[in-house]
A and B are shown apart, each in its own frame.
Chain A
Protein backbone atom coordinates (compact mmCIF):
# COMPACT_ATOMS: atom_id res chain seq x y z
CA UNK A 1 0.00 0.00 0.00
CA UNK A 2 0.90 3.67 -0.05
CA UNK A 3 3.39 4.73 2.61
CA UNK A 4 5.72 7.50 3.72
CA UNK A 5 9.02 7.06 5.52
CA UNK A 6 10.69 9.92 7.35
CA UNK A 7 13.99 10.12 9.11
CA UNK A 8 13.80 9.37 12.81
CA UNK A 9 14.06 12.25 15.21
CA UNK A 10 14.57 14.12 17.31
CA UNK A 11 16.82 16.47 15.39
CA UNK A 12 18.62 19.13 17.41
CA UNK A 13 20.33 22.00 15.61
CA UNK A 14 21.89 25.29 16.53
CA UNK A 15 20.33 28.48 15.22
CA UNK A 16 21.37 29.28 11.62
CA UNK A 17 22.32 25.67 10.89
CA UNK A 18 21.24 23.93 7.68
CA UNK A 19 18.28 21.57 7.97
CA UNK A 20 17.44 18.47 5.98
CA UNK A 21 14.64 16.10 6.92
CA UNK A 22 14.50 13.12 4.61
CA UNK A 23 11.22 11.76 3.28
CA UNK A 24 10.66 8.93 0.82
CA UNK A 25 7.40 7.47 -0.36
CA UNK A 26 5.80 4.47 -1.96
CA UNK A 27 2.61 5.03 -3.91
CA UNK A 28 0.57 3.80 -6.83
CA UNK A 29 0.10 6.43 -9.49
CA UNK A 30 1.34 9.98 -9.09
CA UNK A 31 0.70 11.34 -5.63
CA UNK A 32 0.70 14.91 -4.41
CA UNK A 33 3.26 15.44 -1.66
CA UNK A 34 3.01 17.62 1.41
CA UNK A 35 4.93 18.79 4.43
CA UNK A 36 2.87 19.66 7.48
CA UNK A 37 4.23 21.27 10.64
CA UNK A 38 2.89 21.07 14.17
CA UNK A 39 4.04 23.77 16.57
CA UNK A 40 3.68 23.05 20.29
CA UNK A 41 0.04 23.03 21.35
CA UNK A 42 -1.27 23.64 17.84
CA UNK A 43 -2.76 21.61 15.00
CA UNK A 44 -1.14 20.39 11.82
CA UNK A 45 -0.47 23.27 9.42
CA UNK A 46 0.37 22.89 5.77
CA UNK A 47 3.94 24.08 5.25
CA UNK A 48 4.35 23.37 1.54
CA UNK A 49 3.26 21.01 -1.19
CA UNK A 50 4.12 19.77 -4.68
CA UNK A 51 1.72 18.09 -7.05
CA UNK A 52 3.92 16.72 -9.81
CA UNK A 53 7.46 15.55 -10.51
CA UNK A 54 10.19 18.23 -10.35
CA UNK A 55 7.85 20.74 -8.69
CA UNK A 56 9.43 22.62 -5.82
CA UNK A 57 7.26 23.65 -2.91
CA UNK A 58 8.48 26.51 -0.74
CA UNK A 59 7.29 28.54 2.22
CA UNK A 60 8.90 30.43 5.12
CA UNK A 61 12.39 29.58 3.84
CA UNK A 62 11.64 25.86 3.66
CA UNK A 63 11.88 24.02 0.34
CA UNK A 64 11.20 20.52 -0.93
CA UNK A 65 11.47 19.14 -4.47
CA UNK A 66 9.32 16.29 -5.77
CA UNK A 67 11.83 13.73 -7.08
CA UNK A 68 10.04 10.95 -8.91
CA UNK A 69 13.22 9.07 -9.80
CA UNK A 70 14.20 8.69 -6.14
CA UNK A 71 10.61 8.82 -4.77
CA UNK A 72 11.68 11.51 -2.35
CA UNK A 73 10.51 14.87 -1.02
CA UNK A 74 13.22 16.00 1.38
CA UNK A 75 12.60 19.14 3.42
CA UNK A 76 15.41 21.72 3.57
CA UNK A 77 16.05 25.10 5.10
CA UNK A 78 19.26 27.04 4.81
CA UNK A 79 19.23 28.70 8.22
CA UNK A 80 16.91 27.52 10.97
CA UNK A 81 15.57 29.69 13.77
CA UNK A 82 14.45 28.84 17.29
CA UNK A 83 10.88 29.49 16.13
CA UNK A 84 11.18 26.56 13.67
CA UNK A 85 11.15 24.12 16.60
CA UNK A 86 8.20 21.83 15.86
CA UNK A 87 7.24 18.40 14.58
CA UNK A 88 7.38 18.03 10.79
CA UNK A 89 5.22 15.50 8.95
CA UNK A 90 5.68 14.35 5.38
CA UNK A 91 2.48 13.14 3.68
CA UNK A 92 1.10 12.04 0.34
CA UNK A 93 -2.31 11.98 -1.31
CA UNK A 94 -2.94 9.81 -4.33
CA UNK A 95 -5.97 11.66 -5.70
CA UNK A 96 -8.29 14.53 -4.87
CA UNK A 97 -10.64 12.89 -2.42
CA UNK A 98 -8.37 10.29 -0.91
CA UNK A 99 -7.08 10.71 2.63
CA UNK A 100 -3.56 11.81 3.47
CA UNK A 101 -0.98 9.15 4.26
CA UNK A 102 1.50 10.47 6.82
CA UNK A 103 4.98 9.66 7.93
CA UNK A 104 5.76 9.33 11.64
CA UNK A 105 6.86 12.90 12.06
CA UNK A 106 10.28 14.34 12.92
CA UNK A 107 10.73 16.53 15.96
CA UNK A 108 13.09 19.45 15.37
CA UNK A 109 14.57 21.42 18.25
CA UNK A 110 16.58 24.54 17.44
CA UNK A 111 18.72 25.98 20.22
CA UNK A 112 20.06 29.53 20.40
Chain B
Protein backbone atom coordinates (compact mmCIF):
# COMPACT_ATOMS: atom_id res chain seq x y z
CA UNK B 1 0.00 0.00 0.00
CA UNK B 2 1.42 3.42 -0.93
CA UNK B 3 2.44 5.58 1.99
CA UNK B 4 3.82 8.98 2.82
CA UNK B 5 7.43 8.91 4.00
CA UNK B 6 9.36 11.53 5.93
CA UNK B 7 13.05 12.07 6.66
CA UNK B 8 14.75 12.37 9.01
CA UNK B 9 12.76 10.75 11.80
CA UNK B 10 14.55 12.95 14.34
CA UNK B 11 16.48 16.19 13.77
CA UNK B 12 18.43 18.02 16.46
CA UNK B 13 19.64 21.53 15.68
CA UNK B 14 20.98 24.62 17.35
CA UNK B 15 18.84 27.73 17.66
CA UNK B 16 19.29 29.98 14.64
CA UNK B 17 20.22 27.19 12.27
CA UNK B 18 18.28 26.32 9.14
CA UNK B 19 16.58 22.95 8.86
CA UNK B 20 14.89 21.21 5.94
CA UNK B 21 12.34 18.52 6.63
CA UNK B 22 11.63 16.19 3.75
CA UNK B 23 8.51 14.34 2.70
CA UNK B 24 7.69 12.04 -0.19
CA UNK B 25 3.91 12.14 -0.70
CA UNK B 26 1.92 9.36 -2.34
CA UNK B 27 2.80 9.48 -6.01
CA UNK B 28 -0.51 10.42 -7.67
CA UNK B 29 -1.59 12.86 -4.97
CA UNK B 30 -1.96 16.54 -5.77
CA UNK B 31 -2.57 18.26 -2.41
CA UNK B 32 0.16 18.44 0.20
CA UNK B 33 0.13 19.63 3.78
CA UNK B 34 2.39 20.26 6.74
CA UNK B 35 1.14 20.05 10.31
CA UNK B 36 2.99 20.18 13.58
CA UNK B 37 2.40 19.03 17.14
CA UNK B 38 4.21 20.65 20.02
CA UNK B 39 4.57 18.15 22.85
CA UNK B 40 1.33 17.87 24.79
CA UNK B 41 -0.58 20.19 22.47
CA UNK B 42 -2.89 19.87 19.48
CA UNK B 43 -1.87 18.93 15.97
CA UNK B 44 -1.84 22.31 14.19
CA UNK B 45 -2.09 23.11 10.49
CA UNK B 46 0.84 24.98 8.98
CA UNK B 47 0.40 25.11 5.22
CA UNK B 48 -1.25 23.48 2.22
CA UNK B 49 0.22 23.30 -1.28
CA UNK B 50 -1.41 22.63 -4.62
CA UNK B 51 -0.36 23.15 -8.21
CA UNK B 52 3.10 24.33 -7.14
CA UNK B 53 1.90 27.08 -4.88
CA UNK B 54 0.69 27.65 -1.35
CA UNK B 55 -3.09 27.41 -1.23
CA UNK B 56 -3.55 28.19 2.45
CA UNK B 57 -1.36 28.92 5.45
CA UNK B 58 -1.91 29.47 9.14
CA UNK B 59 -0.63 32.35 11.27
CA UNK B 60 2.13 30.03 12.50
CA UNK B 61 3.58 29.87 8.98
CA UNK B 62 5.50 33.14 9.06
CA UNK B 63 8.44 34.34 6.97
CA UNK B 64 10.78 31.87 8.67
CA UNK B 65 8.95 29.00 6.98
CA UNK B 66 8.88 28.01 3.33
CA UNK B 67 7.77 25.00 1.32
CA UNK B 68 8.92 23.63 -1.96
CA UNK B 69 8.33 20.75 -4.31
CA UNK B 70 11.72 20.76 -5.97
CA UNK B 71 11.59 17.68 -8.17
CA UNK B 72 8.04 16.39 -8.53
CA UNK B 73 8.39 13.81 -5.78
CA UNK B 74 9.78 15.51 -2.67
CA UNK B 75 7.89 18.10 -0.65
CA UNK B 76 10.04 20.05 1.77
CA UNK B 77 9.51 22.36 4.71
CA UNK B 78 12.34 24.77 5.45
CA UNK B 79 12.73 26.72 8.66
CA UNK B 80 15.28 29.46 8.03
CA UNK B 81 16.35 30.35 11.55
CA UNK B 82 15.03 27.92 14.12
CA UNK B 83 13.76 29.03 17.52
CA UNK B 84 13.33 26.98 20.67
CA UNK B 85 9.56 27.09 20.22
CA UNK B 86 9.88 25.37 16.83
CA UNK B 87 10.62 22.12 18.68
CA UNK B 88 7.75 19.83 17.71
CA UNK B 89 6.72 16.80 15.70
CA UNK B 90 6.17 17.82 12.07
CA UNK B 91 3.76 15.77 9.97
CA UNK B 92 3.46 15.80 6.21
CA UNK B 93 0.21 14.71 4.55
CA UNK B 94 -1.06 14.29 1.02
CA UNK B 95 -4.44 13.87 -0.63
CA UNK B 96 -5.73 12.87 -4.04
CA UNK B 97 -8.18 14.90 -6.10
CA UNK B 98 -11.97 14.66 -6.19
CA UNK B 99 -14.80 14.26 -3.68
CA UNK B 100 -14.14 10.55 -3.13
CA UNK B 101 -10.53 11.23 -2.17
CA UNK B 102 -10.97 13.65 0.71
CA UNK B 103 -8.81 11.64 3.09
CA UNK B 104 -5.42 13.05 4.00
CA UNK B 105 -2.70 10.43 4.35
CA UNK B 106 -0.01 11.22 6.90
CA UNK B 107 3.64 10.37 7.21
CA UNK B 108 5.25 9.13 10.45
CA UNK B 109 6.53 12.59 11.35
CA UNK B 110 9.88 14.23 11.99
CA UNK B 111 10.69 15.14 15.56
CA UNK B 112 12.55 18.46 15.55
CA UNK B 113 14.48 19.42 18.67
CA UNK B 114 15.94 22.93 18.81
CA UNK B 115 18.60 23.45 21.48
Contacts and interface: CB of A to CB of B under 8 A. Distances in A.
Interface of A: 32, 36, 41-46, 49, 51, 89, 91, 93, 96-105
Given A43-B91, A43-B108, 4 more contacts: A44-B93, A99-B35, A99-B45, A105-B43
Contacts of B43: 44, 89, 91, 100, 102, 105
Given A32-B102, A93-B102, A99-B33, A44 B45 contact: no
Contacts of A104: 40-42
Given A43-B107, A43-B108, A43-B109, A103 B4 contact: no
A101 B45 contact: yes
Contacts of A96: 99, 102
Contacts of B52: none
Nearest to B103: A46
A70 B32 CA distance: 32
B31 interface: yes
Contacts of B55: 97
Nearest to B50: A97
Contacts of B75: none
Of residues B37, B43, B58, which shows the largest number of chain A Cβ atoms within 10 Å of its Cβ?
A: B43
B48 interface: yes
Nearest to A89: B43
Nearest to A46: B103
A104 B44 CA distance: 10
A41 B40 CA distance: 16
A100 B45 contact: yes
Nearest to A5: B42
Contact of B103 (A43, A49, A99, A105): A49
Contact of B4 (A32, A43, A51, A99): A43
A91 B41 CA distance: 14
